[in-house]
Copies of this chain bind each other. A is one copy, B any other.
């Protein structure tokens, strides 16, 4: 019977918190402002999440789950692994297009020292999911030796994260595109 009453508030909190953390980070996330976005009071957030830290962990968890689902879908829809890999940088481009935000995991990774263990783990999961996907695709593409697929996947992931960080700090999407193009030209993304 009954009872999904608070699901709307919970969902709204998670979504608004995600956007806020992508712009201001965990330390910059303000519960009173967040509550106002959702249309409730700050104290009410505690009915859905026991603390700001656990809210952040929940947001980070959903973030990598969504990322993982998207990447699997991309792989399922795009037959060619090379084409799939070519499109990977797009995923980090959207955050820049959407209000000059950045990857929630990159931001929270930067704030590692101020995060509880659970939140840090979810941040690591995002990186692991992305690296595993890249590694699998590189392996499928078959253009570099199998032993180099995982190191290369990590290199691509960290380089893309860096490009997003730099481009965002200048509010310059064209710079992001230029950096990705340079990575290709230099061989990092060449397949």
Establish whether residues B188 and A28, one from each chain, have CB atoms under 8 Å apart when the complex forms. Answer: no
Per the 8 Å Cβ criterion, residues 105-156 of A in contact with B are: 106-107, 109-114, 120, 123-124, 127, 148, 151-152, 154-155
- Nearest CB on B from A12, distance (A): 22
- Nearest CB on B from A9, distance (A): 26
Per the 8 Å Cβ criterion, residues 74-109 of A in contact with B are: 100, 102, 106-107, 109
| Segment of A40-48, A50-58, A65-73, A164-172 in the binding face | A164-172
How many interface residues does chain A have, given as a range?
35 or more
Give every chain B residue within 8 A of A152 (Cβ-Cβ).
182, 185-186
Give every chain B residue within 8 A of A165 (Cβ-Cβ).
106, 109-110, 158, 161-162, 165
B interface footprint on A160-191 (CB within 8 Å = 1, 0 otherwise): 11110111111100010011011101111010
Bound Cα distance from A100 to B183, whole angstroms: 27
Bound Cα distance from A154 to B175, whole angstroms: 9
- Across the interface, A158 reaches (CB within 8 A) one of B110, B112, B163, namely B163
Interface contacts beyond A109-B169, A151-B182: sample of 17 additional A-B pairs, CB < 8 Å, sorted by A: A25-B27, A25-B111, A27-B27, A28-B111, A110-B110, A112-B168, A148-B182, A151-B181, A152-B182, A154-B166, A158-B179, A159-B162, A159-B163, A159-B188, A160-B162, A161-B162, A187-B190
Residue contacts A-B, CB under 8 angstroms, 20 given: A24-B27, A25-B25, A25-B110, A27-B27, A28-B111, A100-B113, A102-B110, A124-B170, A152-B185, A154-B166, A154-B179, A155-B159, A155-B163, A158-B159, A158-B163, A158-B165, A161-B162, A161-B166, A187-B190, A188-B188
